[in-house]
Amino acid sequence: MRIILAVTLSLFIMTVSVSNGRLDVQGTPAFAADGMAQVQLILKKLRSSLVSLKDFDELEAAGMDKADVNRMRRAMEQKIKQMTGDAVTLIKAI
Residue 48 has pLDDT above 50, yes or no: yes
39 class by beta-carbon count within 10 Å (0-12 exposed, 13-18 middle, 19+ buried): buried
Q: From CA 89, how far away is CA 26, in angstroms rounded? A: 18
42: left (phi over 0), alpha (psi -120 to 50) or beta: alpha
Q: What is the pLDDT of residue 20?
A: 40
Output DSSP code: residue 18. -
Residue 71 has pLDDT above 70, yes or no: yes
Q: What is the pLDDT of residue 37?
A: 86
Q: From CA 90, how far away is CA 42, in angstroms rounded? A: 10
28 falls in which pLDDT band (50, 70, 90)?
low
Domain ranges of the chain: 30-94
What's the pTM value of the predicted model, to 2 decimals?
0.59
* Average pLDDT for the chain: 75
